[in-house]
Amino acid sequence: MNQLKSREPDSLALPGTLSDSLRAELIDFRRDLHMHPELGNQEFRTTAALKARLEAAGLAPKVLAAGTGLVCDIGTWDGVRPVLAIRADIDALPIPDVKTVAYRSTVPNRAHACGHDVHTTTVLGAGLVLADLDRQGLLPNAVRLIFQPAEEVLPGGAADAIAAGVLDGVGRIIAVHCDPKVDAGRIGLRHGAITSACDRLEVTLDGAGGHTARPHLTTDLVTAAARIAVDVPAVLARRVDARAGLSVTWGRIASGHACNVIPQHAELSGTVRCLDLRTWREAPDLVHAAVDELATLHRAKSTINYVRGVPPVVNDPVVADLLYDAMAARRGTYAIEDTEQSLGGEDFSWYLEHVPGAMARLGVRVPGDPTHRDLHSGDFDVDERAIQVGVELFTAAALLDAAPRL
C-alpha cells in the first residue's frame, strides 16, 4: 500500500512562483531543446545553453569532466547542513520525431520522446527562481542543481555524475519524470519503489547449419531461437516469486538469409525487468541458467551478454512526503494522486544508493484529451503548463526542506 499523506500541510505562504515573463521564457527554452535533441554523452549544445542561462543569472555552473552535463550550486553551502539536490536528465532518444508542430526535432532520427527536455527546463526554471530568492535573502539553505547526461545509456550517466562528486554534501535528492497518463497540473507519488530494475540481455546461438530438407543433421538454430524466445520467460516465471515481477521481453531476433538454409548463427536481444531489488540481484544467474538449459536441449552453443542496467527507484517515505507537502502548499492535495510502480527503468536509482530521495511523476497530459502519446514514441508531446508545475514543486520543496534545519 502506498500510504501517502491524506492531510493538508501546515498553512504556509511560500515565495517562488513564476512570473509571466519567466514562464514564457521557459517554454521557449524547452522548445529549443526539443528542436535540437542530443543523444547521451553528446549533449554539448544542451550543456552550453544551460551554462549560458545560469551564468546570466549570476550563477557559477560547472561542466562535468566528460564535457556534457553540469552541476550548479545556489546559495552558499556552509559545509555542515546537508544540501538538497534537484536532478534533471538532459539526453534524447534515437527515434524520429513524427509530430506536426513548429518545434519538431530538426535532427533526423533524434527526438526528446521521453520528456527530458521538460525535466531539464523545470530544473533550470527552479534554479532561476531560487537564485532570485537567494538574492533577496529568502533561501535558507543552499540547493544544488544536477543536469545529468546519458540517462538513456545503460547503466546510465548517473554513475559518472556521482563519481564526479555531485553528491558531495547532499542530504536529499529529488526529481520528476513526465507521465502522459497524468493530467498537467497534477503529480503522481508513492512511497517505496516507483520504477523497476532494467537490464539488457543479448544472446547469440551457434551450431551446424545445413539444408532444411535434413534438419536432423543440423543444429536447427531458428527453432532454438524461437524456443528460447518463448520458453525463457515461461521458465523464469516458475523460478521466482510472481510478486517480484521478473519479466524478459525480446526486442530483436535475427537469423538466416534463405528460406531453404538452416543458419549457423542466431541472435536475440531484449530487456530484463523486475519490481523487486533482491530478485534483481539474482536475475543474471537465473537468466543464464534458463538460456543455457534451453540452448543445450536444442544442441546449440549459447553465448550470453548480460548488461547490468539500473535498480528500481525506491522513494524514501520522508522525501516523498516532502514532495507531497510542496505540491499541497502550491496547489492543494487534490493535485496529488497515488501512482503505481512501473516496469520502466530510471538511473535516478543510482543516486538513491547513496542518499535518500524521491521522484514524482509530473503530469503532462492535456486535461480531457483522449489521445495517448506514450513515452519513447515518436509522437510524444506534453502540455507545457506542466513546466510551471514542476518549477513550483521544486522551489517549494527547497524551501520546506530547509525549514526544519534552521
Proportion of the chain above pLDDT 70, given as a percent: 96
Please state, in angstroms and rounded to a whole number, the distance separating the CA atoms of residues 269 and 202: 4
Lowest mean pLDDT among 5-14, 128-137, 164-173, 251-260: 5-14
Average pLDDT, the chain: 94
Please report the pLDDT score of residue 21 as a whole number.
96
Q: What is the mean pLDDT of residues 159-174?
A: 96
The pTM of this model reads 0.90
* Lookup: cell for 119: 525535466
The whole-angstrom separation of Cα 293 and Cα 174 is 43
- pLDDT score at 102: 97
Residue 123 and residue 40 in contact, taking contact as beta carbons nearer than 8 Å = no
Other beta carbons within 10 Å of 373: 17
pLDDT for position 2:
56
Report the distance separating Cα 343 and Cα 388, nearest Å. Answer: 27
Mean pLDDT of 205-218: 94
Query: Per-residue pLDDT for 154 more than 60?
Result: yes
* pLDDT at residue 298 is higher than 70: yes
Distances (CA, A) of 273 to 30, 36, 103, 168, 310: 31, 31, 34, 30, 9
pLDDT in tens, 77-88: 887 889 999 999
pLDDT at 10: 46
- Could you read off the pLDDT of 110-143 as tens digits, one per residue? 999 999 999 999 999 999 999 999 999 999 899 9
Q: Which comes out higher in pLDDT, residue 337 or 16? A: 337
Task: Say if residues 379 and 104 touch (Cβ distance below 8 Å).
Answer: no
pLDDT of residue 77: 80
Q: Which residues contact residue 165 at a Cβ distance below 8 angstroms, ignoring those fewer than 6 apart?
A: none
DSSP 243: G
Chain position carrying cell 519567466: 22
Q: Which three cell numbers stand for residue 152?
A: 538513456
